[in-house]
Structure 1
Amino acid sequence: MVSVRPRLRRRDGPEWRRVLLRGGIVLGLILLTLALYWFDRAGLQDNIDGEISFVDVLYFTMITVTTVGYGDIVPVTDRARLFDTFLVTPIRLFVWLIFLGTAYELLFRNVWEQWRMGRIQSHLHDHIVVVGFGISGAEAVTELLRSGVPPQHIVVIDSSPAAAAAAAEHGVAVLEGDGTRNTTLEAVRIDRAKCLAVTAGRDDTSILIVLTARGLAPRLPISVVVRAEDNEPLARQAGANTVINPASLAGLLLAGSAHGPHIAEYMADLAAIGGDVLMRERAVAAGEIGQPLSAIRTGLGLRVTRGEETFGFWTEGAALLREGDQIIEIVPRPRPAREVPPGDG
């Protein structure tokens, strides 16, 4: 990973529209200058044949707007010179700014952005992709940062400029785009990501994002937030490994609180990075193979995942840990070392 925080802004419209708009402005300025020069053509002098025709005025307008002229046609009256000084010269500068700005946007900036993003993408590996920076997405990013994940290891995708700006304030990488499109997910190297969290706000959009991501990264761990219980099976069929229903989770907390006033508090403590305890998943260590789950020393073992099966700490499957097992355990939250005041010790 690289410590670069890119932010790609979505275009406000097709490039050809902006080119046509700028071309229209330039054409309008040229026509305005042509009309004024034709109206005051008596103030011009043709050093070739001494006559000023419409073709001469058109030629002089184009040469004057785009350059400083060749001297074959010149203004000779004070009014024509003042007109050229205070009106045509600013128009000339403005036209050149439009030309340079268009060239920069269509060529130089695109080339620069492609080079910059290519460099960033080449270093993206084992990063966390979050699609949707609403309430759930923002909370997820905040918790990841609190847990110690470096900001440059998190990539946020959102189609809203306001949401993208809010995500950028956290220091994470931001891609302003549509997460349902292959090109967007490919741009953040979804095939090399560590995991994907989808919280798009709409179940149909979230499921489509999961389906798209699963097609690009068949083995990627995907978590998705859905709000309708009927959509949970659809999310799993689309390829989600973990389906989270906020309403169901709130119901579980409420039900737990009915059996004891401190149960919901402890469950929230487990889920929050800032709590006293953490729930984490890790691979079994070499020294733990052959031992029961209850014998681990790093924390309180709760569950073992072995392939497609899971075993609770009370079952026979957890009595003998094997190579490749994944352990879910509860551990104390690491506390920062206490700073010793000057003079102590």
Structure 2
Amino acid sequence: MPESGVSPLRSLLQRVAIALGALTATALIVYFGRDGYVDNNSEDGISLLDAFYYSTVSVSTTGYGDIVPVSEAARLMTTLFVTPLRLIFLITFVGTTVELLTERSRQAFQVQRWRARVRDHTVIVGFGTKGRAAVETLLGEGAEPTNIVVVDTDRSQLDAASALGLVTVTGNATRSSVLRIAGVQHAAAIVVATNRDDTAVLVTLTARELAPQIRIVASVRESENVHLLRQSGANSVIVSAETAGRLLGAATTTPSVVEVIEDLLTPDAGFAISERPVEESEVGGSPRHLADIVLGVVRGDQLHRVDASVVDALERGDRLLYVRKASSPDED
């Protein structure tokens, strides 16, 4: 689960500094008040080294009894200052252990509660360039960060995802146990954004076996592997290399077209493509006559172009793919 606050290393260093400060303060109190202390093993008085020795055995509650306060002033200083410092020292180290155990229990409880409550979330397999872009699009469309689960084997990538407030799972997504931890059996969709096409096929097969009804969107580098992804159970397959190549080719002759496409694919600026249900007042009408710029109509599980004769008259339950202003809230 996503975490915020100081890093464990910094927290540990802070606790060590507090403990050393308590030891040093105790040693200085004893050293400057050394006339009120007696060393049963020496007649030369209390040196600075003796003071540090006394502070270590005192704050750690070992108490050998070889150096003891005998004057009233020394005992008063021990009562008012050394005892609180002893408590600070103990609380610092005992508290670290207790906090570690408590944190593990809290994390386990938080994960269990999340897994029991999360439904219809999105699982992102791979948090590279494609995975990050998919997450940015989902967040731009209003998705809650806690409803996005990132699965990856790279710790640095998972740390970056956690910094965005996303839930992260460490492991190989080709293993069914890892996808179960990500809650894929209760997810609405899974985005397969791995760097290798063979890995994408294995992840798709595993996800489809665990969740027969889930929507699987996969990315491949080579178009010849598209049929493998579809046979494995992917609902949508995007060829990243060919898509980028088409945009590069179009940019050489019609750069304005590429700018419009990039604008439509950027959810937080300009225009964006969105989806909404048909309103009651629009039933029976043509999608070409609406105020919105409609690109297509989803009827059942099939997408029809706006000029298809089968969708000349809109029906209840249809969904419209339309162009909206990215700055305005989604109507969906």
Other-structure match for 1:151: 145
CA distance in 2, matches of 1:247, 1:121: 36
Match of 1:140 among 120, 134, 143: 134
CA distance in 1, matches of 2:103, 2:324: 49
Match of 2:175 among 165, 173, 181: 181
Match of 1:269 among 248, 258, 263: 263
SS in 1 for 2:273: strand
| 1:49-69 deviations in Å (ceiling 9; x for gaps) | xxxxxxxxxxxxxxxxxxx9x
SS in 1 for 2:173: coil
SS in 1 for 2:223: coil
Other-structure match for 1:283: 277
User: Match of 2:222, as an amino acid?
Assistant: A
Equivalent residues of 2:284, 2:313 under 8 A apart: yes
User: Match of 1:229, as an amino acid?
Assistant: S
SS in 2 for 1:278: strand
Alignment partner of 1:323 is 2:316: yes
The offset of 1:114, in angstroms, is 4.0
Superposed, which structure 2 residues align to 1:4-23 within 5 Å?
5=2
Match of 2:206 among 212, 215, 219: 212
Other-structure match for 1:248: 242
Other-structure match for 1:303: 296
User: Match of 2:2, as an amino acid?
Assistant: R
SS in 1 for 2:268: coil
> Could you list the runs of 5+ residues in structure 1 that have no partner in the other structure?
8-67, 69-96, 337-345
CA distance in 1, matches of 2:125, 2:225: 18
Alignment partner of 1:235 is 2:232: no
SS in 2 for 1:197: strand
| 1:61-102 deviations in Å (ceiling 9; x for gaps) | xxxxxxx9xxxxxxxxxxxxxxxxxxxxxxxxxxxx9xx98x
> Could you list the runs of 5+ residues in structure 2 that have no partner in the other structure?
5-61, 63-92
User: Match of 1:196, as an amino acid?
Assistant: I
CA distance in 2, matches of 1:287, 1:177: 49
CA distance in 1, matches of 2:106, 2:201: 34
The offset of 1:243, in angstroms, is 0.7
Match of 1:224 among 207, 218, 221: 218
SS in 2 for 1:174: strand
SS in 2 for 1:327: strand
User: Match of 1:300, as an amino acid?
Assistant: I
Other-structure match for 1:197: 191
CA distance in 2, matches of 1:309, 1:196: 20
The offset of 1:113, in angstroms, is 4.7
Superposed, which structure 2 residues align to 1:20-99 within 5 Å?
none
Equivalent residues of 1:206, 1:226 under 8 A apart: yes
Equivalent residues of 1:130, 1:137 under 8 A apart: yes
Equivalent residues of 1:232, 1:243 under 8 A apart: yes
The count of corresponding residues between Structure 1 and Structure 2 is 240
Equivalent residues of 2:268, 2:327 under 8 A apart: no
CA distance in 2, matches of 1:165, 1:130: 14
SS in 2 for 1:322: coil
CA distance in 2, matches of 1:188, 1:204: 21
The offset of 1:191, in angstroms, is 2.2
SS in 2 for 1:157: strand
User: Match of 1:230, as an amino acid?
Assistant: E
Equivalent residues of 2:124, 2:191 under 8 A apart: yes
SS in 2 for 1:230: helix
Equivalent residues of 1:224, 1:240 under 8 A apart: yes
The offset of 1:276, in angstroms, is 0.8
| 1:300-329 deviations in Å (ceiling 9; x for gaps) | 111112235432122212211123323211
Equivalent residues of 2:275, 2:321 under 8 A apart: yes
Equivalent residues of 2:2, 2:163 under 8 A apart: no
SS in 2 for 1:262: helix
| 1:12-59 deviations in Å (ceiling 9; x for gaps) | xxxxxxxxxxxxxxxxxxxxxxxxxxxxxxxxxxxxxxxxxxxxxxxx
CA distance in 1, matches of 2:303, 2:120: 25
The offset of 1:242, in angstroms, is 1.2
SS in 2 for 1:273: coil
Instruction: State percent identity of aligned pairs.
Output: 31
